[in-house]
Amino acid sequence: MRNCGFIGLGQMGAPMAAHILKEQPLTVVAIEAAQQENFKRLGASVATETAGVAACDLVFLCLPNGKVVEDVIFGANGLASLLRPGAIIVDTSTIEYQRTLGIAERLQARGIAFCDAPVSGMQARAEAGTLTVMCGGPGELFEELQPYFACFANKILHMGEVGAGQLAKLINQLLFDINAAALAETLPLAVKLGLDPDKTGEIINSGTGRSYASEFFVPNILKGDFSKGYPMAAAYKDLISGAEISARQGIPTPVLAAATAVYQSALLAGDGAKDKGGMICHIEERLGVTFRSKQEGGAA
């Protein structure tokens, strides 16, 4: 096994790193004191700066967006200047396809291998070690990395060359976004027409209208809890990527465009800190209803 490092101990990265640590030694870069104490207790080597993983020859990243990924790799004291030729960087973040290609090209010129391996499954599956990994990179590199991916994932797919992992993740995310926008539109409609929210949610999640989005968001919407998923303001990058690819390729995506408008309306309404279930709030306000459980205070 390679000398392994991990940068990005957020909602997804912390449990992923903890799972790797169960299988082999790991150096983590931890900024917050609570993270430092937690990973010391788990047995990790803890650094407070990127330079702490300079001796590693395999570094995993799990960061919030493409700009942060580029800063960590190419910024002052970035990985590109610290790691030796022959090292590998695995980016499990969700970032733009074109940016991924550019990062790979720049690292190749320095003799550092790179693959994109975004993950799907949200925090609960990260904690359970049952994520899905979509990997883009050379086949031989994918084969070498599979034992590491298996620490935190139970579905590991090689999607093709560098960038293919990000494209696969984007397709999945856009479908998820469309489902969330559809819930935001139809659930208030149900209440406006006089249907009971609890029973409507039960019908959706036991019928043909169910989806992962409905199974995750409907119970939380009924409780008025919009804090369980990724904030909309941070996740909006996926819709930007979808629109860019649609425009560049000349491929019409009318359903995605409509879902994006719902998303944008929620952001303009000031709901960006809420998860995607929060898209419902501005529509509820327009219709003068709320899709809430009667056990939680009743629907308007």
Question: Do 133 and 202 have their domain in common?
Answer: no
Q: What is the CATH number of the domain that holds 24?
A: 3.40.50.720
Question: Do 55 and 154 have their domain in common?
Answer: yes
Question: Do 143 and 203 have their domain in common?
Answer: no
Q: 49-82: per-residue pLDDT in tens?
A: 999 999 999 999 999 999 999 999 999 999 999 9
- Among residues 143, 162, 181, which one ends one of the domains? 162
- Among residues 162, 194, 209, which one ends one of the domains? 162
Active-site positions read 169
Q: 201-234: per-residue pLDDT in tens?
A: 999 999 999 999 999 999 999 999 999 988 999 8
Residue 229: what pLDDT? 86
Question: Do 127 and 175 have their domain in common?
Answer: no
Residue 174 class from Cβ within 10 Å (0-12 exposed, 13-18 middle, 19+ buried)? buried
Question: Do 10 and 129 have their domain in common?
Answer: yes
Domain enclosing residue 190, as ranges = 168-296
Residue 268 class from Cβ within 10 Å (0-12 exposed, 13-18 middle, 19+ buried)? exposed
Residue 122: what pLDDT? 85
- Among residues 103, 134, 162, which one ends one of the domains? 162
Question: What is the pTM assigned to this prediction?
Answer: 0.88
Checking if the pLDDT of 298 tops 50, the result is: no
Question: Do 242 and 287 have their domain in common?
Answer: yes
Is residue 299 very low, low, confident or very high in pLDDT (cuts 50, 70, 90)?
very low
Question: Do 179 and 69 have their domain in common?
Answer: no
